[in-house]
Structure 1
Amino acid sequence: MAATMGRLTSVLRQQANSTVCRPLFTSTAVHNDKPEGGKSWFTKLFPEKIQAPTDAHSRLLTAKDLVYEMQIHDVKPEYMEQYKEMTEEYYPRIHQSSEFPGEVKGSWYTAFGYQDQAVHLWIYRDGYDGVTRSEEALLGDKEMREFIEKRQNMLRARSNQLLLEFSFWGEPEPREGFNVYEMRSYQLKPGTMIEWGNNWAKAVPSRRGYTEREINELKKQLGPDW
């Protein structure tokens, strides 16, 4: 384990940023039949499947077409409680809507680290096409537009990232109870993604069985560093 962690550290350009979060709410997966339709400009720009030139790359990258979106909202302190209430009301509605192609996998607010910040994780099972259609679905719904306008006034800043999962992780699942989560981000040296993924895949089984439980590890495709 120590040797593996040493190899992981060697490929880092910058050590981890770490924030401790508590859940706003969690949701169970809802199965929605997805209309096939045509491909969007977003899908054409970014291929649905990443072609891996080597076996190592193939093991590192996921075989699924899943795309994750991580939303980060910096909330004005005076609106934090109101923001939580609105999010808990509207996000499950979006999740359950047959018109919306994504699913919310979890929502958290920060307890230590960055303050007055909320983090939401969405999953799109039909890849980048679902990301494009999600915006169309929200803007086409009057009630959702009103929710977004109200939320805008509560935020100091907001950003999002599009991410892909590593092949050695499954999808994150809701957990019972009031849990505490740690969110980390690592900046890797250029060209070390494969080495990082292969070594981390070896390290994960060694961590299991302790008090903490891993949720997921994702690699950023688009968006600012967190």
Structure 2
Amino acid sequence: MNASKVLKLQSVQSAVRQLATSKQTNEKSFFSGFFDKKVEVQSGAHSNKLSDKERICELVTHNVKPDCLDKYLKTTENIIGFVNSNNSVLHGQCLGNFQVLVGDQDQFIHLWRYEGGYKNLDENIKFLAESKEFAALQRDLLPLIRSRHSQHLLKFSYWPDIELRNGSNIYELRSYHLKPGTMVEWGNYWAKAIRMRDYKNTEAFAGMFSQIGELYNVKHIWCYGSLEERKEAREVVWQHQQSQWQDIVANTVPLIRQMTSRIMLPLNISSTK
């Protein structure tokens, strides 16, 4: 091969390498804008910045055997009655009891709140472990369920206080699994978002984040009169707060690893309707 052909071949090879390098750099830059998120440095526990630790919520999930639904509802009513009759000792209140309508079928969600922080929660655990009546109720319950799950959560300080509803409503439970280290950033954005999102001041039922159980897990519970009302409420945000809402969505989506939504109906025994 003569010298001119060698130089021409080297020139082509150099151009190909430059093109490949440029493509990789551009792809990295393009995708990093969407998916790379700097985890902010924490100077302390995020629970100290986002919530009051004196009120602890417990979210209990029961997956019930399909042929045991009636027995399950009766046993659940008995358990709630037991807690209410021992309220002075247990420091607890049942805020809602729901059956999942859209999501995992034959699934029931129960939301409890305990006053007095972890000190009183420790006393609750000890009391229940020593109670023969509670043990009997548990023996009635266990054969009816396929699996169960619980987690302890704290309410976000910027969310409205939980108020029980009347009438006929549906509830949406949205679960967000965040990347570790992003809870404070999430809270900063949603402190603004909640003012835009709850335009009727009636939709935001509960906003919580996990402390024990699935960590970096956020729970938002919304209350609507119907599925149609839910659709309208979500459209209002985009119509009247489009630019601000776009900014919040753009900055919070990269914080999320996984998210789910369930539509729930309150049970007849539920304290919120």
Global fold match (TM > 0.5): yes
Instruction: Answer with 1 or 2: which has the greater Rg.
Output: 2
Q: Structure 1 pair 221/63, CA: closer, same or farther in 2 (3 Å)?
A: closer
**Which secondary structure state, in structure 2, belongs to the residue aligned with residue 204 of structure 1?**
helix
Q: Does the CA-based 8 Å contact 2:62-2:108 persist in structure 1?
A: yes
Name the aligned partner's letter for residue 134 of structure 1.
Answer: N
How far apart, CA to CA, are the structure 1 residues paired with 2:153 and 2:35? 23
Superposed displacement of residue 161, structure 1: 0.4
Counterpart position of 1:127 = 117
How far apart, CA to CA, are the structure 2 residues paired with 1:148 and 1:58? 32
| Matches for 1:31-180 after TM superposition, within 5 Å | 53=43, 60-97=49-86, 98-180=88-170
Q: Structure 1 pair 122/58, CA: closer, same or farther in 2 (3 Å)?
A: closer
Identical-residue share of aligned pairs (%): 35
The structure with higher relative contact order (CA 8 Å, sep 6+) is 1
Q: Does the CA-based 8 Å contact 1:72-1:160 persist in structure 2?
A: yes
Can you give the 5+ residue segments of structure 1 that lack an aligned partner in the other structure? 1-8, 13-51
Determine if the alignment matches structure 1 residue 218 to structure 2 residue 208: yes
Q: Structure 1 pair 92/205, CA: closer, same or farther in 2 (3 Å)?
A: farther
Superposed displacement of residue 208, structure 1: 2.0
Give the TM-score normalised by the residue count of structure 1: 0.69
Deviates more, 1:130-139 or 1:64-73: 130-139
* Count of aligned residue pairs for this structure pair: 177
Q: Does the CA-based 8 Å contact 1:75-1:116 persist in structure 2?
A: yes
Q: Residues 175-217 of structure 1: CA distance to partner in whole angstroms, max 9, x if unpaired?
A: 1123210001111122221111111110111122349611111
Can you give the 5+ residue segments of structure 2 that lack an aligned partner in the other structure? 1-33, 218-259, 261-273
How far apart, CA to CA, are the structure 1 residues paired with 2:146 and 2:79? 20
- Give runs of ≥4 in structure 1 deviating > 3 Å: 9-12, 57-60
How far apart, CA to CA, are the structure 1 residues paired with 2:71 and 2:201? 33
Give the TM-score normalised by the residue count of structure 2: 0.58
